[in-house]
Amino acid sequence: MKAPIVLKFGGSFLRGHADLVRAVHAIYREVRDGRPVIAVTSAFHGRTDALERSLRSLDAERGVRSSERTRAALLQTGELETANLLSAALDRSGVPSRVLEVPRFGPFVEPGTEDPTHVDAKAIHELLERFPVLCIPGFAAAENTPERGPALLGRGGSDMTAMVLGRDLSATIRLVKDVEGLYTSDPARKDAEAGPPRRLARVAYQDALSLGPDILQPRAVRFARDHELEFEVVGPGHIAGVRGTRVGERPTASRSAPAPPRPLRVALLGLGAVGARVFAELQSAPDRFEVVSVLVRSIPGRERPAAARSLLTESYEEVLAAAPDLIVEATGGHQPAAGRIRTALARGIHVVTANKVAAAKAKPHLEESAREGGAVLLASAAVGGALPALETVGRLRTGSRGDALVGIEGVLNGTSNAVLDAVAKGSSLAEAIEAAQKEGLAEADPTHDLDGTDIVHKIELLARAAGWPAPRWLHQESLAVGGEDAPARRVHVTPECQLRARFIGSVFRSDVGPVASVSLQLAGEDCVFHGVNGSWNALVLHFESGATRTVMGRGAGPWPTATAVMGDVYAISRRIALGELAPEAEALTETEEEGR
């Protein structure tokens, strides 16, 4: 496992519920790289002050000051609220997470102090083996006594929570704010005499201490200095290596930051269940993305988001004429989708697709067009939704220390999984399919969700990501053929039973090459697939040594699919900003100067 990263989301970033989706994007970018995340939350902007005011006015009315214990217990609730809402937002987007209870895991303080002594690093590491993301309320602490009474880490104390976690877990520390790092003066204010504020590339601890408590908690900076912890201050669309400010031992240096790079021009093909969600998520980051055109089959077809109406077209030529840097394809089916993707790539337009049919059937040709056009094609959402399946297989195909990947198996279709669960609970097959369609899990025509073809496409994409030749097919079972006798109708495994019916796709290397199958199997309580319910997917990788690695995520539905699409969009945007892909990155023209 990679070393964890602590991401602290400040009150300037988390102003309200609408900002949770950007926090999810920032977290997911790490998760898909296989990096465990500990997300530290501040309270929503202004929340702690409001709680403090309520307590003071109550105290004033009765003429008695509440105890520190009461104050600590009350003020913590702001951070606890955001930690739980962030965990719920991660769940909605298909990313597994858990909220850490401060009395159990820390940070701990000696009674009457606000300086953390430690967190329970061993227990947190154990949880990170099971959950890719742990959310923890910042600012909150527990007394290091058997009662574990409530305590605080001082105003701005979420910074301190990040520092103590970073120290005890040997984790990278990143503080996420609403601007791209630390500046010589407030970037929101224009001061004609001083000129435009300059972003600081690096800040020495000593200078960080003078920035003021609203920017960084001085006590947290001193903690970092005393424990030799370097940390970064970054913006919501952080791009590692390009923007942000590093705080540490080295002397302060500023950057002559020109105007930020223009937003990426994105065209969207399809505005259905997935496309509409992707549209909303692109719009949540207007500094990074501008949607320039939206292709649909028929404009009067269905209700459209108001903001998309002026961008709608039925003509692909018009989409290309809008000069997008990147196209997100969310229409579905083999053709005309594959042809459109190919045309875009050949013209140097990057493409992100959620379409497993087009990707599985045409990937080699599409990759050739991408090479010719100098463009990139990514298809994370085509397998596993928010479960980063292709990325994990691509990263671990040689295994750690040469332990080769020999097999891949998983629950890879959310619709069939949800249908099997619903039938086991007593639904009819037709009711179960209708419910999956209403949730936006099933394809427009759900035949391939149930006859195993969708899983076949995903297994083929996974085998390709592993660098293997196309697999031989041993067996493809169907859940839905056979009328009254269809396997899905005959599932009599009730929820009380220790066994669960699961539709499993697998591919294993053999001396005749990779061999694949799709089959209905029984999962006992000790089987990892037992707990994979509803729209969740799970992927198990088998290595030559006998070691296994399991990854989970929601595999279907608009939110998880959009999460995976946005992961790809951010990955391309990062490579553009690093100057690896066209259009050219202005960010790299920055020059660094010593001093402020």
Nearer to ligand HSE, 78 or 440 (CB): 440
Between 137 and 557, name the residue whose CB sits nearer to ligand NDP.
557
CB 454 to ligand HSE: min, Å: 6
Q: What are phi and psi of 13, to 5 degrees?
A: -90, -45
- Nearest-CB residue to ligand NDP? 272
In the list ligand NDP, ligand HSE, none, the entry touching 413 (Cβ below 5 to 8 angstroms by class) is ligand HSE
Selection from 45, 53, 91, 98 nearest residue 74 by Cα: 53
Residue labelled with tokens 């105007």: 259
- As measured in angstroms, the least distance from the Cβ of 294 to ligand NDP is 9
Question: What CA dihedral angle connects 211, 213, 218 and 221, to 10 degrees?
Answer: -70
Number of residues that bind ligand HSE (CB under 6 A): 11
Which run of H or of E encompasses 552? strand 548-554
Using the minimum distance from each CB to ligand NDP, give the nearer residue, 271 or 491: 271
Please give the Cα distance from 99 to 127 (Å, whole number).
Answer: 10
Judged by CB under 6 A, the residue of 276, 556, 572, 576 near ligand HSE is 556
Span interacting with ligand HSE, options 112-120, 252-260, 438-446, 509-517, rule CB under 6 A: 438-446
Which residue lies nearer to ligand NDP by CB, 311 or 581?
311
Cβ contact 472:512 at 8 Å: yes
- Name the helix (H) or strand (E) containing 481: none
The nearest distance, CB 329 to ligand HSE, in angstroms, is 14
Task: Give the total residue count for the chain.
Answer: 596
Question: How near is the Cβ of 420 to ligand NDP at its closest, in Å?
Answer: 17
Among 393, 442, 488, 585, binds ligand HSE (CB under 6 A): 442
Q: From the list 329, 391, 409, 443, which residue makes contact with ligand HSE (rule: CB under 6 A)?
A: 443
**CB 106, CB 167: distance < 8 Å:** no
Tell me how crowded residue 403 is: count the other CB atoms within 10 A of its CB: 14
Least gap, CB of 22 to ligand HSE (angstroms): 24
Q: Which two tokens stand for residue 227?
A: 């424990």
Residue 385 contacts ligand HSE per CB under 6 A: yes
Strands 97-99 vs 133-137: parallel, antiparallel or unpaired: parallel
Task: Provide the minimum distance between the beta carbon of 311 and ligand HSE in the complex, in angstroms, as a whole number.
Answer: 25
Nearer to ligand NDP, 109 or 338 (CB): 338
**Contact present, 292 and 323 (Cβ < 8 Å):** yes
Query: Out of 132, 414, 514, 534, which residue is the one contacting ligand HSE (CB under 6 A)?
Result: 414
Query: In angstroms, rounded to a whole number, what is the distance separating the alpha carbons of residues 506 and 553?
Result: 18
- Would you say 143 or 443 has its CB closer to ligand HSE? 443
Residue 325 in the binding site for ligand HSE (CB under 6 A): no
Instruction: Considering only the stretches 46-54, 136-144, 300-308, 410-418, report the one whose residues sit in contact with ligand HSE under the rule CB under 6 A.
Output: 410-418
294 binds ligand HSE (CB under 6 A): no
Q: Where in 454-483 is the site for ligand HSE (CB under 6 A)?
A: 454
| Helix (H) or strand (E) run with residue 372 in it | helix 356-373
Based on CB atoms, which residue is closest to ligand NDP, 296 or 518? 296
With CA atoms as reference, report the closest residue to 501 among 436, 403, 416: 416
CB closest to ligand HSE, residue no: 415
Question: Which positions from 512 to 551 touch ligand HSE by CB under 6 A, shown as an x/- string?
Answer: ----------------------------------------
What, of ligand HSE, ligand NDP, none, does residue 374 touch, CB below 5 to 8 Å by kind?
Answer: none
CB of 388 to ligand HSE, least distance (A): 14
**Which of these segments, 43-51, 293-301, 435-443, 464-472, binds ligand HSE (CB under 6 A)?**
435-443
120's tokens = 């329970």
Q: How far apart are the C-alpha atoms of 474 and 452, rounded to whole Å? A: 13
Give 571's contacts (C-beta < 8 A, 6+ positions apart): 29, 378
Q: Is 359 in the site for ligand HSE (CB under 6 A)?
A: no
The beta strands (E) that lie in 271-364 are given as: 289-295, 312-313, 326-329, 350-353
* Contacts with 86 (C-beta within 8 Å, 6 or more apart), sequence order: 9, 20, 23, 24, 39, 41, 97, 135
Contact with ligand HSE (CB under 6 A) among 87, 252, 415, 563? 415
Q: Distance between CA atoms of 220 and 162, rounded to whole angstroms?
A: 9
- Whether omega for the bond prior to residue 583 falls within 30 degrees of 0, making it cis, is yes
Residue 89 contact partner, candidates ligand NDP, ligand HSE, none, CB within 5 to 8 A by sort of partner = none
Which runs of E-coded beta strand occur in 282-362? 289-295, 312-313, 326-329, 350-353
Question: Would you call 38 helix, strand, or coil by DSSP?
Answer: strand
- What is the C-alpha to C-alpha distance for residues 21 and 42, in angstroms, rounded to an integer? 15
Closer residue to ligand HSE (CB): 100 or 337 = 337
| Binding residues for ligand NDP (CB under 6 A) | 270-275, 295-298, 301-302, 330-332, 336, 354-356, 381, 385, 440-441, 443-444, 556-557, 561
**Shortest distance in whole angstroms from residue 3 CB to ligand HSE:** 31
Q: Report the sign of the C-alpha dihedral through residues 310, 316, 321, 324, in that order.
A: positive
Minimum Å gap between C-beta 277 and ligand NDP is 8
Measured from the CB atom, is 9 or 503 closer to ligand HSE? 503
Place of tokens 């909220």: 99
Which positions lie near ligand HSE, rule CB under 6 A?
385, 413-415, 441-443, 449, 454, 555-556
